Amino acid sequence: MADIAIIGAGTAGLTAAIYARRGGMDTVVYEAEAYGGQIINTPEIENYPGLMNISGFEFATKLYEQAAALGARIEFDKIVKIECKEDGTFTLKGGYGTSEDCKAVIIATGAKNRPMGLDGEEKLTGKGISYCATCDGSFYKGKTVAVFGGGNTAVEDAIYLADICSKVYIIHRRDEFRAEKHLVDTLFSKSNVERLTPYVVSALKSDGRLTGIEVTNKADGTVKEIDLDGLFVAIGQIPRNEEFKDLISLKEGYVAAGEDCLTDKEGIFTAGDCRDKKVRQLTTAAADGATAALAACEYIRLSAL
């Protein structure tokens, strides 16, 4: 039986694994997709203390290697259910038939990209619509693209694309961008970038692939048509906690837990972007991971499981 089972191998989950192993706990991490979470799509990390000139993929790989070197067991399966046993321990059930017994659970499932909810969006994903500029940007070298969103991710994507595409539109539903000022300044210093605010993408045009979009002005209802080769969507994220809604309290899909990372189910903790909180940054994900792991270690020791 594992001491601590961690669901999710993003920044929060891998940090939790590092702290759990350093605390002497037998630790297993389950990841449904690829280790690293959303940060692997970031071309360069600029706001993590002590680190400069490192990509998100490099950062995630170092976390993964550190956790593994300390002895954390990392498995790839989607955990679909947590069963509570009479003795206070848990059994994790995976989509590939996994069954893992453990004394404490840390939910660090992160979040996934929020879709626009437009007709044809799913069909055109991979055919002109993308949610990852660093993954797919090279396919649009010398072409015209748009980025939809106004936060750090959207602006970083637009900066990256402006260096390889002939034209980049950035579309945001508000007049002002939510991204950090230095990122916004960098973006609009580029001559091939055009802003469309306050606009939203309201329709998709295609002939089997994306050929253009309609955008609607939020203030006056004006509609424009734009010919495009690609559209990169960066309008936020939605949590991945649906499987646990009958076990722990959720708030708008996020795990209801404070800065102590304790859920309302004894023995289950949470960390990272899946938690209900105001600030979702790389540093706060790492902090959550450490907090949750230390709390889980203390719980196991005090419970004498």
Q: Which residues are catalytic?
A: 132, 135-136
Half-sphere exposure of 76 (CA within 13 A, CB side): 5
- How many angstroms separate the CA atoms of 181 and 194, rounded? 17
Q: What does the H/E/C string look like for the chain?
A: CEEEEEECCEHHHHHHHHHHHHCCCCEEEEECCCCEHHHHHCCCECCCCCCCCECHHHHHHHHHHHHHHCCCEEEECCEEEEEECCCCCEEEEECCCCEEEEEEEEECCCEEECCCCCCCHHHHECCCEECCHHHHHHHHCCCEEEEECCCHHHHHHHHHHHCCCCEEEEECCCCCCCCCHHHHHHHHCCCCEEEECCEEEEEEEECCCEEEEEEEECCCCCEEEEECCEEEECCCEEECCHHHCCCCCEECCEECCCCCCECCCCCEEECHHHECCCCCCHHHHHHHHHHHHHHHHHHHHHHCC
